[in-house]
């Protein structure tokens, strides 16, 4: 991170670390609770006896979840959608952010207005469904990839970053006769690793967590996104009774998945995407020092 003179250990440091650790603890505990439930026997889970450590430890539940064909299908779908979708999204985002970061771009204001407009105005379920239907994309994996691909917010983040880079390096390259595209790829992007890592993370997580696209565009069970699978599992337990005190669907109620199965599913559905951030963390450092060109 930063190069700093080593400070002496001060009161501030102690207090700082203390409060930060406290915060870290309270954010960690609920996760530990869910993990503990995933590895506990059903009995203690139902009785609410599991706090942060498994009781009646067993790994059968997790293995059971991992072997379920529905889980594997949804997992595969979501992995593909996340990787391909993020790649496409990053491409669209970076190619849009760069020109818009140039104040000299003619028509810049108009483009910006368009993007802000679509950031705020959404058409709703029906038109989106109908669009995908006319494009023959319903019940295909492309529907999952193209829904929510481009985020104006993320584009603004990248544009912001590009704007904060000093012009000197780019101008030097321009004098040497480089085209805009060349500058973007060879000069700007290598200097932008922090923001690229950030936005990749944002997109990756957004794709991984997207479940609405499954509800809207998919009826084929083997294309159900992972989060929809998980959400359905959790919801089944919540929606058992109707508002008059009667059971809605007896067969569903009789075959309800157990709470530990639900916890196990949460754990295995969330774990992979958690690995993305540590992987990207090393990019949160400036790639090339921009101080290389003075003036």
Partner 1 sequence: MKGKKKTYKRKETFGQYFKKNYDLYLLLLPSLVFVIIFNIIPLYGITLAFKDYNMFAAETPWKSIGASEWVGFKYFINVFGRPDFKRALANTLIISTYKIIFNFPLPIIFAIFLNEVKSIKFQKGLQLIVYLPHFLSWAVVAGIFVTLLSSTGVVNTFLESLGFEKVKFMMDNSVFRKVLVFSDAWKEVGWSSIIYFAAIAGLDQECYESAIVDGANRFQQMWYITIPGLLPTIVLMLIIRIGNIMDAGFSQIFAMYNPTVYESADIIGTYVYRMGLGKMDFCTGTAVGLFNSLIGLILVLSSNRVAKRLTGKSIW
Partner 2 sequence: MKRLLSVLLAAVLVFSLVACSGNNKKSGSETDSSSGGSIETKNETTTTQESKQESQEDPFLTGEKPELNILTFYTGYNMEEQPSYKVVEEMTGYKVHWFNLPQENADEKLLLEIAGGTSYDILIRMSPNQANQLFVQNALLDLKPYLEKYGQNVYNAVSDVAWSSVTDQNGVIYGIPHEAFEGPKSGSNYGILKGGIGFNTAYLEELGMDIPKNLDDFYNVLKAYKEKTGKPALTQNAIGWNNYILAAFGMGDPSWYEVDGEFVHRIKHPGTVQYLAFMQKLYKEGLLDNDFPINTAQTAKEKFTNGTCIAYPLMFWDIDGIYSAFEAAGINAKVKVATYLAPDANTDPVVYIKEGITHVTCIPKTSKNPEHAMIYFNTISDVENFKKIYIGEEGVSFEIKDGNYYPIFPAFSDFTNADKFTGIIPVDNAFTMWQARVRKTEAMAEMYEQMNSRVDEYKVYHYYESYASSLEAVQNNQASLDKLVNDMMIQAIVSGEDPQTAINNITEEWYKSGGTEYEAAMQAWYKENKDKFK
Residues that bind partner 2 (CB under 8 A): 41-49, 55-56, 69-70, 73, 76-77, 80, 83-84, 87, 91, 125-126, 129-130, 133, 136, 138-142, 185-186, 189, 214-216, 219-223, 228-229, 232-233, 235-247, 250-251, 253-255, 257-259
Cβ closer to partner 2: 22 or 83? 83
Q: Is 16 in the site for partner 1 (CB under 8 A)?
A: yes
Token readout for 109 is: 């204001």
Q: Which does 185 bind (CB under 5 to 8 A by kind): partner 1, partner 2, none?
A: partner 2
CA–CA distance from 64 to each of 38, 61, 72, 78, 228 (Å)?
A: 11, 5, 11, 20, 19
Cβ closer to partner 1: 15 or 63? 15
Q: Report in angstroms how near the CB of residue 99 gets to partner 2 at its nearest.
A: 19
99 CB-contact burial (10 Å; exposed 0-12 / middle 13-18 / buried 19+): middle
Q: Report in angstroms how near the CB of residue 193 gets to partner 1 at its nearest.
A: 9
Map residue 108 onto helix, strand or coil.
Answer: helix
Letter string b/e over residues 57-83, b meaning 16 or more CB atoms within 10 A of that residue's CB = eeeebbebbeeeeebebbbebbeebbe
Q: Is 231 in the site for partner 1 (CB under 8 A)?
A: yes
Q: Which does 247 bind (CB under 5 to 8 A by kind): partner 2, partner 1, none?
A: partner 2
- Please name every residue paired with 247 in a beta bridge, in sequence order, or none if there are none: 241
Q: Which does 20 bind (CB under 5 to 8 A by kind): partner 1, partner 2, none?
A: partner 1
Q: Which does 36 bind (CB under 5 to 8 A by kind): partner 2, partner 1, none?
A: none
- Per-residue contact flags (x/-) with partner 1 for residues 55 to 94, judged by CB under 8 A: ------------------------------------xxx-
Cβ closer to partner 1: 41 or 213? 213
Cα-based angle 35, 41, 42 (whole degrees, multiple of 5): 100
Which one of residues 39, 71, 75, 156 is an interface residue with partner 1 (CB under 8 A)?
Answer: 156
What is the rounded distance in angstroms from the CA atom of residue 54 to the CA atom of residue 206?
A: 31
What is the rounded distance in angstroms from the CA atom of residue 250 to the CA atom of residue 234?
A: 17
Which one of residues 63, 80, 114, 288 is an interface residue with partner 1 (CB under 8 A)?
Answer: 114
E strand or H helix at 230: helix 226-238
E strand or H helix at 61: helix 60-67
């Amino acid at each position: 991170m930063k190069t700093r003179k080593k400070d002496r250990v001060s009161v501030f440091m102690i207090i700082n670390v203390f409060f930060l650790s406290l915060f870290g603890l309270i954010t960690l505990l609920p996760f530990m609770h869910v993990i503990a439930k995933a590895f506990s026997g059903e009995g203690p889970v139902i009785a609410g006896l599991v706090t942060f450590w498994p009781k009646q430890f067993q790994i059968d539940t997790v293995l059971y979840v991992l072997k379920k064909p529905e889980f594997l299908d949804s997992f595969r779908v979501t992995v593909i959608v996340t990787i391909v979708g993020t790649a496409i999204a990053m491409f669209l985002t970076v190619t849009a952010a760069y020109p818009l970061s140039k104040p000299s771009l003619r028509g810049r204001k108009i483009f910006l207005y368009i993007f802000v407009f679509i950031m705020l105005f959404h058409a709703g379920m029906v038109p989106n469904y109908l669009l995908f239907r006319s494009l023959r994309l319903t019940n295909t994996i492309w529907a999952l990839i193209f829904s929510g691909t481009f985020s104006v917010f993320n584009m603004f983040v990248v544009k912001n970053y590009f704007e904060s880079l000093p012009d000197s390096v780019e101008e030097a390259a321009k004098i040497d006769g480089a085209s805009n595209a060349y500058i973007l790829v060879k000069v700007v992007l290598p200097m932008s690793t922090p923001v690229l890592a950030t936005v990749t993370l944002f997109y990756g997580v957004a794709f991984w967590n997207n479940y609405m696209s499954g509800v809207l565009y998919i009826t084929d069970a083997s294309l159900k996104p992972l989060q929809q699978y998980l959400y359905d599992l959790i919801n089944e337990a919540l929606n058992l009774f109707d508002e008059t005190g009667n059971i809605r669907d007896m067969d569903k109620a009789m075959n309800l998945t157990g709470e530990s199965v639900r916890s196990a599913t949460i754990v295995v559905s969330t774990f992979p995407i958690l690995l993305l951030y540590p992987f990207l963390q090393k990019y949160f450092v400036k790639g090339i020092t921009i101080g290389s060109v003075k003036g």
